[in-house]
Amino acid sequence: MPMGLESSMSEEQLKEMGIKPEEITVEKSEEKKIEKELTPIDKEYKAAQERFSGLINLVNERYENPNSTIAESPEQLKSFEEHNKQILNFCVERGVKKGLGEKQLATLEAAAILHDLAKSGKPPEESANIQNYMLAAHGEIAANEVKSIFEQQPEMLTKILGENYSEEDVEKTISTIEEAIRCHMGPHPGFMTRILENVNKELQKKGEMEIKHPYPEEGNIVAETLLAADMGSLADRKGREKVLTIRLNVPFFRKQDEHLSGECQEFDIDLSPGEAALLSGFDSAEQARDMLEDEDDREWVNELIEESKKGQYTYSEEKINYHDAITKREQFETAKRLSKV
């Protein structure tokens, strides 16, 4: 039945279709109740998904494309798509709370949707043998595509700028989105600094231009907010779980955690590799927080970190928690310091 058609029907017509009039009334009242319960942030997030559905579909199509590095991994596909939803949600939350204007908020939302567009892509042929190239370069690659994307989907510009806009408005909007996408690559909590250095060393050998991860210029609220949202995704519980999965499955990181566990054992402190991995995730989150320029953004990320300290995590089949892990590491650091006295 088309939406709203039942409201024009008589009670007798509804009864003939097996529908009780009171059911329609209840259904409508429930819909209104749900609508009333949505916060301004919820409403804007929902509106952004509808407004930029073309961009969202483009990103998802890239991920699902046979040439994508994650196309054959349902788990990775789900992880990438959930990350993008979270970043959009965080950008809406921060943008609304910062009081961004309608056009500025829409620009931020478009940047959030496109920020990891190229992350599942394959490197160009000349860089195919450079380890972690796409991890270091995906921001620059995505930024370089923004102009052509809006040329192919000009209706998206109308969603940002309204009906009447100038060529100057278009250039400024595209430039803002490009810069925000480039700047989400920095700062560098955790291991990204080393990855960028290694990639650039290989590019130098080939005589190619190095990759840069610029920091948002002061006052660029769109770039600052996208960066804060990306750091927020590292700081919350989902971010912690993601780090645990990476450190469990990547041999380099697993060896690091096993090494710290072994050092603790020398002082009869039973810090497991899983607990070491958990602490590494918290260390990265705190680095991310401290690298943000905006005080409100730092406080927001800190709230996510503090909330993520509650409850248990799972590493392989081991149940671990922040309190036990940090207590053991502090005991280790004290014992190690005293052993040198």
Q: Is 320 in contact with 274 (CB distance < 8 Å)? A: yes
Q: Is 241 in contact with 313 (CB distance < 8 Å)? A: yes
DSSP state of 4: T
Q: Which amino acid, 313?
A: Y
pLDDT at 7: 40
Domain boundaries, the chain: 23-221, 236-341
86, two tokens: 């979270």
Dist. CA 97–CA 109, nearest whole Å: 14
Dist. CA 248–CA 254, nearest whole Å: 6
pLDDT (tens, 9 = 90+) of the chain, 341 residues, equals: 434 433 444 555 545 555 655 555 555 555 555 556 889 999 999 999 999 999 999 999 999 999 899 988 888 899 899 999 999 999 999 999 999 999 999 999 999 999 999 999 999 999 999 999 999 999 999 999 999 999 999 999 999 999 999 999 999 999 999 999 999 997 777 678 888 999 999 999 999 999 999 999 989 999 999 999 999 999 999 999 989 988 998 888 899 999 999 999 999 999 999 999 999 999 999 998 998 999 999 999 999 999 999 999 999 999 999 999 999 999 999 999 999 87
192, two tokens: 């990204």
Q: Pick the closest to residue 113 from 87, 135, 90 (CA basis).
A: 87
160, two tokens: 């940002």
Q: How many C-beta atoms lie closer than 10 Å to residue 316's C-beta?
A: 11
Q: Is 21 in contact with 7 (CB distance < 8 Å)? A: no
Dist. CA 237–CA 321, nearest whole Å: 12
Residue 303, judged by CB atoms within 10 A of its CB (0-12, 13-18, 19+), counts as: middle
Query: Which residue in this structure is represented by tokens 């559905």?
Result: 53
Distances (CA, A) of 26 to 2, 7, 23, 31: 18, 13, 5, 9
Q: Pick the closest to residue 316 from 261, 245, 238, 251 (CA basis).
A: 245
CB under 8 Å to 266, separation ≥6 — which residues?
A: none
Q: Is 336 in contact with 292 (CB distance < 8 Å)? A: no
Q: What global pTM score does this model have?
A: 0.83
pLDDT at 192: 83
Dist. CA 309–CA 278, nearest whole Å: 10
CB under 8 Å to 19, separation ≥6 — which residues?
A: 6
